[in-house]
Amino acid sequence: METIGFIGAGTVGTALAIRLSEKGYPVIAAASKRLSSAERLASQLKGCEVCNSAQAVADIADIVFVTTPDDVIAIVAEQITWRTNQSVVHCSGAESLDILEPAAKSGAQTGSMHPLQSFASVEVAIKNLTGSAFGLEGESPLLNTLKDIVNVLGGHWVELKADDKVLYHTAAVFACNYMITGVKIATDLWESFGIPPAEATNDLLPLIRGTVNNLSNIGLPNCLTGPIARGDIGTIKRHLAALKARSPELLPAYKEMGLQTIPIAEAKGKIDKEKATELRNVLMHYDD
């Protein structure tokens, strides 16, 4: 089996290294900007050497995972002397293989394996890897190797082209990061009528979990609920009026999200074209 090394021992790199080692892959080397991070990772793996430079990892590992921050990947690729019959894999969601061009020019195979998951801590990351989707980019035979790795990790791979990467990552931001933003907006609104953010979050979590369960069990578009799904124009108008009075800065976001929700309601079949047009007119022209 090919040996594996990691350049970058942050949350993603550490979680991947530990899970790969648990699955029998020989993770033999780790380096990081902070030596203590590499030491901490290596201490959790059998037979993993702490390297004092990225080059030292590349010198001994067959497959090198570059799990640094995105802005550092190109620097790593440029500064290291790569060799033929070696594979270099970055884990960025937005960057294509172009960022590894120096390695490719040296004869190394290049690939990308991005875990589509939210990693708040190493412990959570290790747990959440199983069942996650992974965005893969590359050419055979490395691409097949990455597919095998994802399968062993219990994940699901999605093959991407270079032009797909930025939109793929943008979609992740909408589904994950902006969901958090939506909850923050909701807790801010609760705070306006006297409920502290922590309490508001706890009260909203069952709703959020129920929504995720509906998405999982029923799927789009049938999981959509709420006033737009019902075509409840009166309620939408009251929402808009309340926001105008107390949080006018949220009106543009509410209106745009509402407009994006109308086609989902139409697809669900609960509103007809006439009702959809009424909803659009209310959202587009309110406060003109």
Over residues 263-274, the pLDDT tens digits come to: 999 999 989 999
pLDDT confidence of residue 125: 87
pLDDT confidence of residue 136: 97
Q: Is 215 left (phi over 0), alpha (psi -120 to 50) or beta?
A: alpha
Which residues face 134 on adjacent strands?
A: 115, 157
What's the pTM value of the predicted model, to 2 decimals? 0.88
Residue 205 banded pLDDT, cuts 50, 70, 90: very high
Percent of the chain clearing pLDDT 70 (strictly above): 100
Q: Is the pLDDT of residue 122 over 90?
A: no
Task: Return the structure tokens found at 182.
Answer: 């939506």
The tens digit of pLDDT for each residue in 7-18 reads 999 999 999 999
Mean pLDDT across the chain, nearest whole number? 95
Task: Return the structure tokens found at 98.
Answer: 């172009």
pLDDT confidence of residue 121: 85
The tens digit of pLDDT for each residue in 21-49 reads 999 999 999 999 999 999 999 999 999 99
Query: What is the mean pLDDT of the segment spanning 125-134?
Result: 92
The tens digit of pLDDT for each residue in 240-284 reads 999 999 999 999 999 999 999 999 999 999 899 999 999 999 999
Q: Is the pLDDT of residue 160 over 90?
A: yes
What CATH number was assigned to the domain covering residues 168-285? 1.10.1040
Query: What is the mean pLDDT of the segment spanning 73-99?
Result: 95
- Residue whose C-alpha is closest to residue 243's, from 255, 251, 235: 251
Q: Is 138 left (phi over 0), alpha (psi -120 to 50) or beta?
A: left
* Domain 168-285 in the same topology as domain 4-160: no
Q: Is the pLDDT of residue 288 over 80?
A: no
Q: Write down the domain spans for the chain.
A: 4-160, 168-285
- Residue whose C-alpha is closest to residue 171's, from 184, 158, 189: 158
Residue 224 banded pLDDT, cuts 50, 70, 90: very high
d(CA 15, CA 34): 17
* E strand or H helix at 7: strand 4-7
Percent of the chain clearing pLDDT 90 (strictly above): 93
Query: What is the mean pLDDT of the segment spanning 135-160?
Result: 96
Who wins on pLDDT, 279 or 119? 279
Query: What is the mean pLDDT of the segment spanning 97-108?
Result: 96
CATH superfamily, with its number, for domain 4-160: NAD(P)-binding Rossmann-like Domain (3.40.50.720)
Query: What is the mean pLDDT of the segment spanning 205-227?
Result: 96
